């Protein structure tokens, strides 16, 4: 039987010595997910704000669709993106399958609804709170949106952080569209899955520690944002 302590010890050794593979995989994970968060936020935050402020005929339907998208199983997203990007698919000519770009696309699809949904909730609350004041002051539409986004920046950042948390720990979709190719599309989660399967627990655990650290960081940042909101001075 494999000794779990040996695994942890070797994992810590890899971390302390900044193992090349470990660093490379971590950086790629960050690169893919941060890119996905940037794109997902650029789409999701304004979309959520817009759904919260604008009244239009199919708003409820749009919100329901958004929530439905949030519940999409990542593996299915991976499958669909795979079909779209595969050589015979509609976007096959771009040759994106098994590249980091494909993984970014899949993650964007997975996290954008989450970001938009949290942003929608936050801005809707703020709008209800500010409604009378902003109407009373004869603000223009643009001024209202700018005010709500600025004053709602903490919950909006929380939305992006939630997107990051979901993206960095996701494995199903990026495994399918990225292919977990060494030195090309291997990221934290897919590498852990592979190394565990191979029985190389040292690297798997080392990567696991990195992943846990990133998740803790997200939680800590979210918590800190909440604390400043209740603080005396901003």
Binding stretches for another protein (CB under 8 A): 126, 129-130, 132-133, 135-139, 143, 147, 151-152, 229-234
Quick check: 159 and 115 in contact, CB under 8 A? yes
Please, how many CA atoms are within 13 Å of residue 179, restricted to the half-sphere of its CB?
A: 14
Q: What b/e readout covers 148-185, taking b as 16+ CB neighbours within 10 angstroms? A: bbeebebbbebbbbbbbbbbbbbbbbbbbbbbbeeeeb
| Identity of the residue, 80 or 149, whose beta carbon is nearer to another protein in the bound complex | 149
Kindly state the smallest distance separating residue 115's Cβ from another protein, in Å: 20
Which of 31, 39, 29 lies closest to 175, judged by CA?
29
Q: What is the 3-class SS of 140-198, one letter each residue?
A: CHHHHHHHHHHHCHHHHHHHHHHHHHHHHCCCHHHHHHHCCCCCCCCCHHHHHHHHHHH
* Residue 54, SS3 per DSSP: coil
| Identity of the residue, 156 or 218, whose beta carbon is nearer to another protein in the bound complex | 156
Kindly state the smallest distance separating residue 129's Cβ from another protein, in Å: 7
Kindly state the smallest distance separating residue 114's Cβ from another protein, in Å: 23
Quote the tokens at residue 211.
């992943």
Kindly state the smallest distance separating residue 194's Cβ from another protein, in Å: 46
Kindly state the smallest distance separating residue 149's Cβ from another protein, in Å: 12
The total of other beta-carbon atoms located within 10 Å of residue 111's CB is 30
Kindly state the smallest distance separating residue 132's Cβ from another protein, in Å: 5
| Identity of the residue, 88 or 140, whose beta carbon is nearer to another protein in the bound complex | 140
| Identity of the residue, 120 or 144, whose beta carbon is nearer to another protein in the bound complex | 144
| Identity of the residue, 10 or 147, whose beta carbon is nearer to another protein in the bound complex | 147
| Identity of the residue, 57 or 230, whose beta carbon is nearer to another protein in the bound complex | 230
């Amino acid at each position: 039987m494999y000794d779990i302590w040996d695994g942890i010890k070797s994992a810590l050794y890899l971390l302390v010595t900044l193992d090349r593979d470990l660093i490379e995989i971590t950086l790629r994970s960050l690169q893919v997910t941060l890119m996905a968060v940037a794109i997902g936020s650029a789409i999701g935050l304004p979309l959520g704000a817009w759904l919260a402020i604008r009244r239009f005929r199919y708003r409820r339907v749009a919100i329901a669709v958004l929530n439905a998208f949030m519940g999409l199983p990542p593996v299915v997203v991976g499958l669909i993106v795979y079909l779209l990007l595969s050589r015979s698919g509609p976007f096959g000519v771009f040759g994106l399958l098994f590249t980091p770009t494909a993984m970014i696309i899949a993650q964007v699809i997975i996290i954008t609804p989450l970001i938009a949904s949290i942003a929608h909730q936050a801005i809707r609350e703020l709008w209800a709170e500010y409604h009378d004041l902003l109407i009373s002051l004869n603000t223009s539409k643009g001024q209202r949106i700018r005010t709500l986004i600025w004053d709602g920046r903490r919950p909006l950042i929380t939305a992006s952080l939630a997107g990051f948390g979901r993206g960095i720990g996701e494995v199903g979709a990026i495994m399918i569209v990225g292919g977990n190719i060494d030195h090309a599309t291997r990221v934290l989660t897919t590498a852990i899955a592979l190394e565990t399967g191979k029985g190389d627990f040292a690297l798997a655990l080392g990567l696991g520690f990195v992943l846990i650290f990133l998740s803790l960081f997200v939680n800590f940042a979210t918590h800190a944002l909440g604390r400043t909101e209740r603080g005396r001075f901003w």
